[in-house]
Structure 1
Amino acid sequence: MGYYHVNDTGKGIYIKSFDTINKNYELPPLDYIKSYLERKYGSCDKDISMLSGMDLYHQIVYIGMDKYLFSYLAKPIIQETNNNQSFCKSFSDAFDRRYSAYFDKVAANTFELLFCHRFGYPFGCFKGISDYDGDIMFFCNLQFPPETYNKKLSELTEEVFIAELREFFSDFLDDDYYKTVELEICEEYIKE
């Protein structure tokens, strides 16, 4: 049971299902990733140094896992392994075996991190999610006026936003489809 309703809205784009990313995409520095996770979750339970032993695909998974998936999938492996290399292999194998069909939904949790780093926006202005209906989207959900002034954010227009979305998603997902997408209203549905 529960109440099904719109939780959040904003202008952005819907992302079609994907299972690959640009293998040459560069992640932000580890301290940037850690500060993002602390801002998003209030603390960072993940050992970010583990990322160095993984390929980009699994780095995105590790960063994008919510607290539930992290405690269910990664924490038991951390307790069973005694070094970074064995953790990375066990983690990658476990995700590929049980959850690879959900890669795009897990990866959606990293869109804000990657987009903000690439274009210099502060955290908390955008939302990348897979909602209750399984729709994957990325949109601006900033409430104006923002708490603190940010020059980059003050220059954000729909034209700038769509150009940046096109650049980011066509590069990150290595898909020319995103070079021509248009802004639309995105609605995140949840069931409480």
Structure 2
Amino acid sequence: MGHREDLLAGAKRCLLAKGFLRTTARDLVKESGANLASIGYHYGSKDALLVEAYVALIQEAGDSYGPGWGADGATRSAPGSLERFHEVWASVIRSVPESRAIWLLSFELIFQGDRVPEVRKLLARAQEEGRSGIVPLFNDVPEADLDAATVDTEGRLYQTLLQGLMVQWLFDPDTATGADQLTEGLRRVLAGAAQGR
């Protein structure tokens, strides 16, 4: 690995161990084995490096959210179906123990964002990318083929559900919403809408 990759790997470890606000440039240098000047050279700033590391952690966690993929690469349920909706959320919930530190970090950034306005801007852009990354789990349309309206509507819906679900699971797993409840809630909403309620 080169300095850029070493810095990114070290930044991921620092974020998981210390969080965003407590990670210093010296921590990054120590953890990565790179020198201080390479942070600015490769990433522009410590905060930009940490945001990129955070986004990489979120993407890695998101890779585990796919519904049950078969040995042939096919999914077990039809895209857009309630079954697929259930499978994706069940997969997300199963991943909570492994991704807990990443989600705690996410909420640290949400609640401390006012202290680091430049980071907030970078994360807002990353959030937009996250919307397009989650939609294919539900509809099988490759991210590159999604239209802006789908990302701006379905992507926002799924992202909002994901963030709310994570708050519940981090706060109290014993009372958090499960995939069965979420899917049944959606089924009832759809049935009500079909009846014109």
* TM-score, length-scaled by structure 2: 0.27
Larger relative contact order (Cα-Cα within 8 Å, sequence gap ≥ 6): 1
Determine which structure has the larger helix proportion and give its number: 2
When Rg is computed on C-alpha atoms for both structures, the one with the higher figure is 2
